[in-house]
Structure 1
Amino acid sequence: MTTPLPRPLPLSIFRDDEPVIQSHSLLNAARLPGVQVPLFGDTSAWDFNGVVRRNANLSEGSFRMNLNEGLASPEWNLTAREVAMVMANPRHEVVIDAGVHLPPEPFDVQTIIRTNSLLRTIVSWGRGNGMPDRLDGWRDTDFRRFTNWLATTKGRQAGTVMNYTAVIKRLHEIGPALAFGGPLVDPWPGKSARQAAKYEVASELSTPNVPPEIWFPLVRAAWTYVHTFAPDVLRAFHRYERLHGRVRQFSRDTITPHLEAWLADPASRIPLHAPEAPDHFGARREGVNWGLLRLFIQADPRGSAFSSDTRVGRLRQERVLQALEAGHPTTTGLIDDLAQVTRADGTTGPWHPGLDPRALTTLVSRMRDAAFCLVVALSMMRDSEIHEIRRGALVEHYNAPAIASSLDKGHRGRPGKHWWITDPVAEAITVAEAISVHEERVFAPLKRPNSTRAAHGAQMLECFVATVNNGSAWTGLEPIPGGRISPHMFRKTMAMLTDQFPGSEIALGLQLKHVAGRALANRSTLGYAAADTQWAHLLENAVDAARFRRFKDLFGAHKDSQPIGYGPRARSFSGAGLDQVESVAGV
């Protein structure tokens, strides 16, 4: 039996040695000689990390385009590479020569990668239905069968079907530039992708508001962590760094006398493992915290000064235990004077059992998460825009505190933007900046200072909720009910509050000066401000309470013979209104 030789691929309009990125701004590192950048001839994957700028909220994996999985056949692999190349360089001379005329702006890298993913699904369906490995061999009815399969068999929403429809129409548009061609005709002539998918723009967004029973305890907890607990964590962290900076190299003969001198100091405290605590505070052991004790006496915290495997180590352990029996002062952490809280059972005590190095590692991350929670709940910034906050971003804008960051969604040039903020948000940014180990970014992973990885907003919210609930017995904070929350939900909730209830107690305290105008700036954001039945009754009561407090303040000023305002309306209200109240009430 003779195996037929594979047919050679048709010649592409692009050269194999051409760089993929020709129309986007390259990072400086990608301009250096010898730096590897994606080339059109690369058939396995295109990695755009370090080549073009990646938004801070995106992971490294989301910036790699896989050309193997589902696209390994030579025909589909070439088509996928050509589609991406055309989208990355729409005004490439060979694209124009092929008769394809697209808008001059190149597609965003994320859009190119997403199109590649959608094409993979189209290819998979075609392979399962016996379709040829080239788009010009598909009929218009085949593409309509595919979108019907998405909607009926797979149950995809109209918005998702619209995305696939847009890709198919784009494949037809750029078909002359593809070696295997594109769809010969538009399967939906005279219709937009939205019309073809029967996608109707709803007046209300599908994104739900954060329920009030979650919003209130979550925001209160975030503020408590940022305002009350964070100073303790930062003090403990700074002391931990100072202790590490004082570590000395002791000889075998000098460490024991140094230990004796340390025990003789009345200010020294022997560190003990904290009493049993919730899981998120770390696994606990009983007795002396030997690792922290080594750090206290300036010895290597990972050394063998108190090792049970040596005779001299056991003798030092016995000496410390003797000091404990004699009443030597103890501690359960790096600092002692923690903030005091009142717990649900009425008792008062420190908010944490002991800030030792193990607990500190977790709590530093949770402080960052609490700061993120406050910013996303009270600033109306998008998740991507919060991740773009850089060090020194707290500024004054028209004599009001503001955050300087960058717009991402729908703004290719990434213009600078100022968000007016309240004092709690400013304090949250300050805490996050003090904790961050990244050279530039405020909200970034905390383990590797030079990491380009992203800290995911939804995960930060999830981790913070778990921390609050697990530690409520110590912190006295109200547990947060279960339920889905995301950064986008907080943005919509804040828009609803500032539009529907501008005089409410919440809006009076938290409303941002620009929020209402920004939330209602265009049609797509009208749904953000839609009323929510979960909040309606609660906020109506808040409006009544706010009005009563205002009236009470005015009445108090009138009774003390102070002016409540100036002009005819103020005099009328003071004379005919407040005087009548005083006479009726008999006060």
Structure 2
Amino acid sequence: MTTAAAFQVLPSQTIPDDTPVLGGRRNLIPGAEVPLFGQSGYWPGDCLRRPANRVKSAWRASFPTDPLWNLRTREIAFGMLNSSHKILRDAGLFFRAENWSLPSVRQMCDKMRLIATWAVEQQMPHDLAAWAAEDWQDYLDHHALTSGTSTLANDVLTIRRLLDFAPLLTGGGLSEDPWPGKSAAEVAERTYTGELSTPSIPPAIWWPLLRAAWFYIDDMAPQILERRDQQAAAVAASAGIRHQTHRARDIDVKLAAWVQDPASLVPVHARDFRGYPAGTVMWSTLSLWLTGGVSQGVFKTGRDSGRHQMRRRMVQQLADAGRVRPVTAKEGRAALGVVDQPVRGRNRRPDDLDAQVKKWLADPANRIPVRRESSVHGPAGEPVWLTLESRVFGTVTRANVFTSGTARTRQRQQWVREAITEDRTDYIEDGDLEHALRMVRAACYVFIAALTLMRDSELQEIERNSIVEHYGSPAIASRKVKHDESRPRLKWWITEPVAQAVAVAERLSWHDSHIFATLAPPSGFLPEGTRGRAGFDAFRDIDFFIENINKTLDRTGLEPIPEGLVRPHMFRKTMAIITAQQPDGEIALGIQLKHAARRALANRVTGGYGRMDANWSKEFDNQLELAAARRLVELLKARRQGDPVAVGPGAARLHAGLDKVIKAMDSDPHLQAQIADERMQVSLLRDEFAQLHFGTINHCLWQASTAECQNQLPPEQRGKQPLLGACQPGKCRNSVLTLENAPYWIAEEGDLQDTLRRERLSPPRRESIEIRLTEVQSVTAQFANLQGAH
């Protein structure tokens, strides 16, 4: 038996606490006590015969101390020890007739304790269905720092127990396999070697997505944010300075000060009024006073918020103490000095409204909001009447000044249409402002995530004024959350466009500290966090952004973004692949990814992030083709003068290809007009010389059928790529040499001549050097022709 657990024990919904956990067809030791399911500390195996090589302390199954993980582990252990028990069959589980052994169950429990510890440290959700496959991979990556492949394979098997026994688990288990179609050994091997399961974003999606994000940051954001600010100003103007007192915290402060003032008296009904008996607190009147006449609901009884209940208790305590002031309903506002609501447009005389419209239209600085494109709300070019009304009258209260359908409103519409000119038109996106603001937020997130290699948790912890200098370069500071309970403030290097994206996100956010937050600030009449909070669901915004970019291609002129899954963690993986291709890329990745260093500033996980995948291999092949084409531009310019630019067996092919490009440029007037555009020349050269490979001593116009280097390979390996190290430049018909290669050949000629001048050379050695010198001189003699031409 175990001692009483020092932690809370949760009951199982499927297995009674008094159920024996070792029974069935086992040969139990007579008289030995069988552990029960309700024992939460450990289950001893004293009732089973213990092998001689097992100590008593190892002949038991011990469980995690966390109550929830303790229950899960006990339920799985029961299922493994009783694989054909009626409880399992009732749950729809049918396993092999042979039970798992106690050592197997003990190993599972040990693994579960490690998972439970990590889950608690990382503050993972209690509901396993809320875990993503990336979360389980994160655990394996963490454990791989100190474990080998066999240990990791057992970890995978243990995690899959949460799926196998899901119907038995209280609260449910996994809903799907984190690694579908892969064996435990395959998952372990990929994790151990750093081959991350995180997919990259294909180049076909990556580049148009980044361009669209930058378009919204650089072009659209200023207009959208200006529109937001104008609307906010209109709202503030319509409510006057009293609008500021409508914030929940300000109301609480004002109420607390009022309650503490000994002179304050609670207004109560002087006589019975509409069902309210005399002496009842005048909640609406007091609410209007606190909010400057804006709201009557500060104390509303129908609300469940603790804030509203607290306010009522504060006021009721004063009333119960006799600090009251009986007033009539008619005297209520006047007695408390409440200012009347401002005059709305709907209460003004039609002539006054006409005069205000004409005055506003007469000012050329006022811009008329016009619908950019046709929709169900109206045709393109039509004024957006409700937006115009708010601008003309400085209020968001709808008075239908332009839309009531009367003769006067039709006349006002005509005045507006006559005043529309291109220089005073303000094109409005179809849809509401929140739609446009969400696009800006998504664009900022996408751009910063793509170019900083920050995790989603680190991105959403970015606070205001986080742009700093780090070792002489601009950087952004944020909190590292993953695998670090202390949440240190770290720095990620950035470029100027990223700093601009951060500035836009900072201007967009209403939050006091964080630059990424929900679009709506918290409401004073809803429970805290219902509307406004720091952070947001990034993956939903990414999908929303891509969908809306593709809907508006005809207007924005952007490239379409192909369909495909894009998630926050994939930006980090993709940029890591790109960075890893640069010199010292792995060291840079180790710094920017914030990986713990096992060797100089990078570890095994770093290499996994930067490892090339199928999505990007072709992209970098294209980059190599472009690089080769750029090196040909100078040769193209020289060839245009009619000079030879190369020698060697393949020189005629190179000259023919360059002449073909020149002819294409000269025969097309459009291309001829762009003859000074190097990008256009590079594009043509890349298409013509797609198989050109640059080398140190020569260049290769790769054609498998004539390649001498392929003779060194087995037949099944031939024809795939050139072997520049095995090339015979003077013989291979793919070989070309330019003046760029000349120094190496001239240097070799000099070295061979110096060697031959030595007295002590064996005849065979001298003969081989003379043969090589003849080959080299046949090449260097050709370089003389090139030097003469240039």
What is the match of residue 582 of structure 2? 502
Question: Does the alignment pair 1:540 with 2:540?
Answer: no
CA apart distance, 1:275: 3.2
Which whole-Å CA distance do the structure 2 matches of 1:215 and 1:424 have between them?
A: 17
Query: Which of 167, 172, 179 is 2:112 aligned to?
Result: 167
In 2, are the aligned partners of 1:503 and 1:546 still within 8 Å (CA)? no
State the AA in 2 paired with 1:490. Answer: F
Secondary structure at 1:446 match in 2: coil
Equivalent residues of 1:221, 1:468 under 8 A apart:
yes
Letter aligned with residue 112 of structure 2: V
Note if contact 1:247-1:295 (Cα within 8 Å) is conserved in structure 2. Answer: no
Cα distance in structure 2, aligned partners of 1:170 and 1:514: 28
Whichever residue aligns with residue 343 of structure 2, its letter is F
> Shift of the alpha carbon at 1:294?
2.3
> In the alignment, which of 208, 213, 219 is matched to residue 210 of structure 2?
219
Q: Is 1:284 equivalent to 2:240 in the alignment?
A: no
- 2-side partners of 1:302 and 1:128: how far apart? 70
- Distance in 2 (alpha carbons) for counterparts of 1:289 and 1:412: 52
Post-superposition Cα deviations, 1:321-362, rounded to whole Å, max 9, x if no partner, equal 33246x132799xx846xxxxxxxxxxxxxxx5247x43211
In the TM superposition, what are the counterparts of 1:249-398 in structure 2 within 5 Å? Answer: 249-250=342-343, 252-253=347-348, 256-264=351-359, 265-266=361-362, 267=364, 268=366, 270-277=368-375, 284-285=377-378, 288-306=383-401, 314=406, 316-324=408-416, 327-329=418-420, 336=425, 354-355=428-429, 358-398=431-471
Cα displacement string for residues 474-518 of structure 1 (whole angstroms, at most 9, x for unaligned residues): 11111111111222222112112222x2169xx9xxx87944895
1:568: which partner in 2? none
Query: Amino acid of the residue matched to residue 214 of structure 1?
Result: I
Q: Is the 8 A contact 2:479 2:488 kept in 1?
A: yes
Native 8 Å contact 1:218 1:480 kept in 2: yes
Identity %: 26
| Mapped partners of 1:124, 1:467: distance in 2 | 49
Q: How does 1:237-252 map to 2 (within 5 A)?
A: 237-247=228-238, 249-250=342-343, 252=347
Q: What do residues 119-173 of structure 1 show as CA deviations (whole Å, max 9, x unaligned)?
A: 77778998994349xxxxxxx975679x99xxxxxxxxxxxxx9987227889xx
Q: Tell me, which stretches of 5 or more residues in structure 2 are unaligned?
A: 20-35, 42-59, 89-96, 117-149, 158-183, 240-341, 523-528, 638-738, 745-782
8 Å CA contact 1:269, 1:328 repeated in 2 = no
**Relative contact order (alpha carbons < 8 A, sep ≥ 6): 1 or 2 greater?**
1
Letter in 1 for 2:399: S
Aligned residues: 418
Change (3 A) 1:246 1:170: closer
2:419 aligns to what SS in structure 1? coil
Aligned equivalents of 2:410, 2:497: Cα separation in 1:
50
Contact map agreement 1:271 1:331 (CA 8 A) in 2: no
Q: Deviations over 1:259-310 (max 9, x none)?
A: 4233244224554544325xxxxx634565332132112253233353877x
Q: How does 1:467-486 map to 2 (within 5 A)?
A: 467-486=548-567
Q: Residue 528 of structure 1 aligns to which amino acid in structure 2?
A: Y
Alignment map for 1:9-408 (pairs within 5 Å): 12-14=4-6, 70=13, 129-131=85-87, 142=99, 166-167=111-112, 192=151, 194-195=153-154, 197=157, 198-199=184-185, 200-202=188-190, 203=193, 204-247=195-238, 249-250=342-343, 252-253=347-348, 256-264=351-359, 265-266=361-362, 267=364, 268=366, 270-277=368-375, 284-285=377-378, 288-306=383-401, 314=406, 316-324=408-416, 327-329=418-420, 336=425, 354-355=428-429, 358-408=431-481
SS in 1 for 2:86: coil
RMSD value, Cα: 5.1
More moved, 314-323 vs 539-548: 539-548
Separation in structure 2 between the aligned mates of residue 167 and residue 386 of structure 1, nearest angstrom? 31
**Does structure 2 retain, via aligned residues, the 8 Å contact 1:391–1:441?**
yes
Alpha carbons of structure 1 residues 214 and 477: separation in structure 2 relative to 1, 3 Å: same
1:460 match: secondary structure: helix
Aligned CA distance change for structure 1 residues 517 and 314 (closer, same or farther; 3 Å): closer
Q: Which amino acid aligns with 1:354?
A: I
